């Protein structure tokens, strides 16, 4: 008898991971292992105690829905948890919730769905009749009490804690604002009910002292994937789909992946899109990758921004064009609206998860930026030619920084120099800087850099060595002025900003967009690692 082999997946859902079967989800669940393990371990420790309630927070596409689905299967698969807990799954948006009674009735409905999955359909007809009976109660307080009593009675009957896996929990809690203290009372005192919610926006009721859920949840923030996590995820998807092509591309062109990962803020949904493109045979370079990914996202992003009122659209556009964190005053100046109107719209956009608040070093005012970084990139790529060119130069800089000849010639440089000649001239400039002779080194550097040379990996490595010596010997201001005078400030902006950080300190990093900040860090790691020390 031969061992059975699971067939490869026919495709990875991008926006609806709940469409995957249990087996498919387990095969592709690679990212978010740390958060998954932390939450499941907590569930195991609490089977006989009052449960802790959890809140998973992350921008759109960060893997919240997939993580909830994975927790659901972990409860069913783990002997201890399966004996004590029953996971309840809800529609992604619970539009029918208008009161706490509605929410408890949704929980009973979700329990009926779970019983069907467990092949215990004999209980479902009775539950449907109970739901109809309670729903018909005209008095809200009585309907709420009866729904909760029925839910707790069912938990007792099946001898399980009901783990409510609620996606977009912010929508539910907003709709239950009148009842939030009553909900908190139940969750605080009822050991048979545990809530694990996910949200793309910060909960106002969690951060305000006067609201019911202030400091109530154990919060798990989903940040962008690192390079290592991104490659692990892509290897996992390739294994699940039996894609030798993607495995080969991961080995041959890692910088394509690193660049897209940086530009997207490590968004797992974008990683899945990237995998889909590679699997479909999308050859090209990193610029082509970026353009194809943005094209795939266009319908979703257009719908998202066009659903906003006019002033909110203006603010989103201004924030995206500013790129770096902006204050309300910055936006008021850019789009000529009163600051009160700007602040009001910003609060709504933060609540909707489209914008996030950040601190700006050296300023007492809050900054704001687009929460989903690939959405910001999409806005930039649809802007004026000058804005698109700035982004193209940034991508080209990353290509050179990662040393990726295999990506092809994605840049827009004006002239080529023989690589050996460029390397030799830079070596001479580097040796002169090392002797403290900037005035003698600068003409060599100007001749090479001013020609708009397209560097090989070897020449690019020598250029970084040159700037390492420049910084070590205190010529960073002179070198920055040289780059500006040669018209290279926009083309090599991360390098220019790295010199600014050397001059003004690491706190300056907090004033840049996340992708620019990471690029600057990558430069400084190579040329001036001590500049990153506080």
Sort 180 into a burial class: Cβ within 10 Å, 0-12 / 13-18 / 19+: middle
Position 379 in a domain: no
Position 146 in a domain: yes
Domain endpoint, select from 201, 221, 241: 221
Q: Residue 174 above 50 pLDDT?
A: yes
Q: Binning pLDDT at 50, 70 and 90, where does residue 352 land?
A: confident
pLDDT value at residue 22: 86
Per the structure, the complete domain to which residue 492 belongs is given by 413-532
pLDDT value at residue 51: 93
Residue 59 CA, distance from chain mean position? 5
Side-chain-side CA neighbours of 153 within 13 Å: the count stands at: 8
Q: Residue 499 above 50 pLDDT?
A: yes
Q: Binning pLDDT at 50, 70 and 90, where does residue 399 land?
A: confident
Q: Binning pLDDT at 50, 70 and 90, where does residue 251 land?
A: confident
C-beta neighbour count of 258 within 10 angstroms: 20
Q: Binning pLDDT at 50, 70 and 90, where does residue 102 land?
A: very high
Position 469 in a domain: yes
Question: Mean pLDDT throughout 304-309?
Answer: 93
Question: Mean pLDDT throughout 91-120?
Answer: 88
C-beta neighbour count of 519 within 10 angstroms: 24
**What confidence tens digit (pLDDT) does each residue in 438-480 have?**
999 999 888 888 765 455 556 777 888 999 999 999 999 999 9
Quick one: three-class SS letters along 390-402? HHHHHHHHHHHHC
pLDDT value at residue 207: 65
Position 495 in a domain: yes
pLDDT value at residue 192: 95
pLDDT value at residue 86: 95
User: Poorest-confidence range of 243-247, 345-349, 387-391, 407-411?
Assistant: 407-411
pLDDT value at residue 1: 37
Q: Residue 43 above 80 pLDDT?
A: yes
Position 277 in a domain: no
Position 265 in a domain: no
- Taking the C-alpha atoms of residue 279 and residue 276, their distance in angstroms, rounded to an integer, is 5
Domain endpoint, select from 221, 251, 268: 221
**What confidence tens digit (pLDDT) does each residue in 76-87 have?**
999 999 999 999
pLDDT value at residue 141: 93
More confident residue, 420 or 507: 507
Position 246 in a domain: no
User: Poorest-confidence range of 61-75, 89-103, 454-468?
Assistant: 454-468
pLDDT value at residue 415: 30
Q: Residues, the chain, total?
A: 534
Dihedral, CA atoms, 436, 440, 444, 449, nearest 10 degrees?
70
Q: Which of 24, 63, 15 is nearest to 239 (CA)?
A: 24
Domain endpoint, select from 169, 189, 221: 221
Number of structural domains (the chain) is 2
Assign residue 136 the CATH number of its domain.
3.40.50.300
Position 36 in a domain: yes
User: Cα–Cα distances in Å, from 354 out to 31, 124, 349?
Assistant: 23, 40, 5
The fraction of the chain above a pLDDT of 90, given in percent, is: 56
Q: Residue 234 above 70 pLDDT?
A: yes
């Amino acid at each position: 008898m031969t061992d059975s082999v699971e067939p490869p997946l026919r495709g990875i859902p991008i926006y609806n991971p709940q469409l995957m079967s249990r087996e498919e989800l387990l095969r592709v669940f690679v990212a978010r292992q740390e958060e998954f393990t932390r939450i499941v371990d907590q569930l195991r420790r609490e089977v006989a105690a009052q449960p802790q309630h959890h809140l998973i927070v992350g921008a759109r596409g960060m893997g919240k829905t997939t993580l909830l689905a994975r927790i659901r299967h972990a409860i069913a698969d783990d002997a201890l948890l399966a004996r004590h807990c029953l996971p309840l799954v809800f529609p992604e948006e619970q539009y029918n919730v208008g009161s706490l009674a509605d929410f408890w009735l949704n929980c009973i409905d979700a329990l009926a769905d779970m019983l069907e999955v467990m092949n215990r359909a004999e209980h479902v007809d009775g539950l449907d009749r109970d739901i109809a009976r309670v729903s018909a109660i005209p008095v809200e307080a009585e309907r709420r009490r009866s729904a909760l009593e029925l839910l707790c009675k069912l938990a007792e009957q099946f001898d399980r804690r009901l783990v409510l896996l609620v996606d977009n929990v912010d929508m539910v809690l907003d709709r239950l604002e009148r009842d939030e203290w009553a909900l908190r009372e139940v969750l605080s005192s009822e050991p048979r009910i545990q809530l694990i919610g996910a949200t793309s926006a910060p909960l106002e009721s969690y951060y305000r002292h006067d609201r019911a859920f202030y400091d109530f949840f154990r919060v798990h923030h989903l940040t962008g994937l690192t390079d290592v996590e991104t490659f692990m995820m892509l290897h996992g998807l390739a294994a699940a789909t039996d894609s030798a092509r993607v495995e080969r591309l991961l080995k041959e062109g890692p910088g394509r992946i690193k660049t897209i990962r940086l530009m997207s803020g490590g968004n797992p949904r974008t990683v899945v899109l990237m995998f889909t493109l590679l699997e479909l045979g999308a050859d090209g370079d990193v610029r082509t990758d970026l353009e194809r990914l943005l094209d795939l996202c266009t319908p979703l992003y257009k719908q998202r921004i066009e659903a906003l009122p006019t002033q909110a659209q203006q603010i989103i556009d201004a924030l995206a064009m500013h790129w770096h964190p902006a204050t309300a005053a910055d936006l008021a100046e850019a789009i000529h609206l009163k600051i009160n109107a700007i602040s009001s719209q910003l609060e709504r956009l933060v609540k909707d998860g489209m914008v996030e608040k950040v601190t700006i070093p050296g300023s007492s005012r809050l900054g704001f930026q687009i929460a989903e970084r690939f959405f910001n990139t999409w806005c930039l790529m649809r802007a004026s030619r000058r804005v698109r060119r700035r982004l193209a130069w940034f991508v080209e800089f990353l290509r050179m920084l990662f040393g990726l000849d295999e990506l092809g010639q994605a840049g827009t440089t004006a002239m080529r120099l023989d690589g050996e000649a460029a390397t030799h001239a830079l070596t001479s400039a580097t040796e002169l800087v090392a002797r403290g002779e900037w005035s003698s080194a600068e003409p060599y550097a100007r001749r090479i850099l001013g020609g708009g040379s397209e560097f090989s990996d070897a020449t690019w490595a020598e250029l970084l060595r040159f700037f390492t010596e420049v910084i070590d010997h205190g010529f960073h201001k002179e070198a920055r002025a040289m780059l500006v005078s040669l018209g290279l400030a926009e083309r090599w902006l991360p390098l220019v900003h790295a010199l600014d950080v050397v001059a003004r300190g690491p706190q300056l990093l907090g004033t840049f967009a996340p992708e620019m900040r990471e690029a600057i860090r990558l430069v400084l790691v190579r040329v001036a690692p001590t500049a990153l020390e506080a």
